[in-house]
């Protein structure tokens, strides 16, 4: 008899069919370590497209479903040796909550694309579903998966920087700089409030920047002052913005996010300044982490070179000099979530923090950031409390 802990984890997918960008990324990430099988899916709101998408991925026709409601019902009835362990949600934002809620109520774990829900109220409600069902919930804050992001977090946590005094995080893109850029599938739903929520730029990439700042620093945002803009004529949602931040240790910060920064690709950069030293990491050069001070030579820390912290070491797949990037970082989220499911199945400790998986806490923090950034931008008050209450 095969030990159940040695079997592959079975995954289903909602969304991510033909023509979808992020679905393919999720599948590559899921398959990278050979621990996951994709066994079923409702890949599109079109039954025909869902079927053709599933067949192209070599999934049995009877497990390519017309909708997620049908899939959850039928998959829950399968024998234990066939039943799905978790579902990956890769749909536009407005579907994240109803899908995650139903999946967990049917007994399945969930790994969702970010942001977690359409609004903060849904995130708070989802937290109750997680607690009630006892299922695992993960969120793909991909940039946490980079080895040197984990090393940066370790340096802050172990006091290498001293007390954190200032945090600067920037996420700049240029792909929505023109009215002509709105025709793509990826752009159209992000600029539609019914599908994306109250924010485009802050909801899409600003939330990543806020999460990265909190993840690496170990601090939490307590207050903010926000100035969001709709630069391109005719847009009702923000495509650019700046947010001043205050953190729970008293330090200040600034978050800049833009999707109209012409010439920028995917420029996510984090700088944290402490009393003794500072760190500087950029997603476009992810294998490099700069450590600087006023009293010692500047140090360039490279992925795979020297002794890094255990979390960083675990996230490295290749020898030094072999670039690891976005797909590998994404795969690290899947790898850790797979380990978490295995521990769950074995009746062991399986909380998100122990397995370094962004979870419902990060989901609520992310939706609260979006909500507060938008509401603060609409107010005349300089500083607004960072509230997670409706």
pLDDT of residue 383: 77
Q: How far apart are CA 273 and CA 250, in angstroms?
A: 13
d(CA 258, CA 261): 6
Q: Which domains does the chain have, with CATH numbers?
A: 4-143+334-359 (3.40.50.720), 145-313+366-377 (3.30.360.10)
pLDDT at 3 over 70: no
Sheet strands (E) in the chain: 9-15, 36-42, 86-90, 109-112, 137-139, 164-172, 221-229, 240-247, 252-258, 267-274, 278-282, 288-292, 299-302, 384-385
Q: What is the pLDDT of residue 5?
A: 63
One DSSP character per residue, 12-78 reads EEEE--TT-HHHHHHHHHHHTTS-EEEEEEE--SSHHHHHHHHHHTT--GGGB-SSHHHHHHHHHTS
| pLDDT single digits (tens) 48-99 | 999 999 999 999 999 999 999 999 999 999 999 999 999 999 999 999 999 9
pLDDT at 385: 86
The predicted-structure confidence for 373-390, as pLDDT tens digits, reads as follows 999 999 988 878 898 987
Q: Mean pLDDT score of the chain, rounded to an integer?
A: 96
């Amino acid at each position: 008899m095969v030990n159940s802990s040695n079997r592959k984890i079975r995954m289903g997918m909602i969304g991510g069919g033909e023509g979808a960008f992020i679905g393919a990324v999720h599948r590559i990430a899921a398959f990278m370590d050979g621990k996951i099988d994709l066994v079923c899916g409702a890949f599109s709101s079109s039954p025909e497209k869902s079927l053709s998408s599933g067949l192209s991925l070599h999934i049995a026709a009877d497990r390519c479903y017309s909708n997620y409601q049908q899939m959850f019902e039928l998959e829950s009835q399968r024998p234990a040796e066939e039943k799905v362990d978790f579902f990956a949600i890769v749909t536009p934002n407005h579907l994240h909550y109803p899908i995650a809620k139903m999946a967990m109520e049917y007994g399945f774990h969930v790994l969702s694309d970010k942001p977690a829900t359409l609004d903060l109220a849904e995130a708070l409600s989802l937290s109750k579903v997680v607690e009630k069902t006892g299922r695992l919930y993960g969120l793909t804050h991909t940039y946490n998966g980079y080895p040197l992001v984990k090393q940066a977090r370790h340096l802050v946590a172990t006091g290498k920087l001293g007390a954190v005094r200032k945090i600067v995080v920037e996420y700049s893109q240029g792909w929505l700089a023109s009215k002509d850029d709105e025709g793509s599938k990826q752009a159209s739903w992000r600029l539609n409030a019914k599908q994306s929520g109250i924010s485009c730029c802050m909801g899409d990439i600003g939330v990543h920047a806020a999460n990265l700042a909190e993840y690496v620093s170990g601090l939490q945002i307590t207050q903010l002052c926000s100035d969001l803009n709709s630069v391109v004529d005719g847009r009702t949602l923000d495509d650019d913005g700046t947010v001043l931040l205050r953190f729970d240790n008293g330090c200040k910060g600034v978050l800049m996010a833009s999707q109209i920064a012409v010439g920028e690709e995917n420029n996510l950069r984090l700088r944290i300044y402490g009393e003794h030293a500072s760190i500087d990491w950029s997603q476009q050069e992810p294998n490099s982490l700069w450590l600087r001070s006023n009293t010692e030579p500047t140090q360039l820390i490279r992925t795979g070179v020297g002794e890094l912290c255990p979390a960083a070491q675990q996230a490295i797949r290749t020898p030094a000099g072999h670039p690891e990037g976005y797909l590998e970082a994404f795969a690290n989220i899947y790898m850790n979530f797979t380990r978490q499911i295995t521990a769950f199945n074995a009746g062991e400790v399986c909380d998100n923090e122990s397995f370094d998986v962004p979870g419902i806490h990060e989901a609520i923090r992310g939706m609260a950031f979006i909500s507060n950034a938008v509401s603060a931008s609409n107010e005349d008050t300089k500083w607004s409390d960072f509230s997670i209450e409706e």
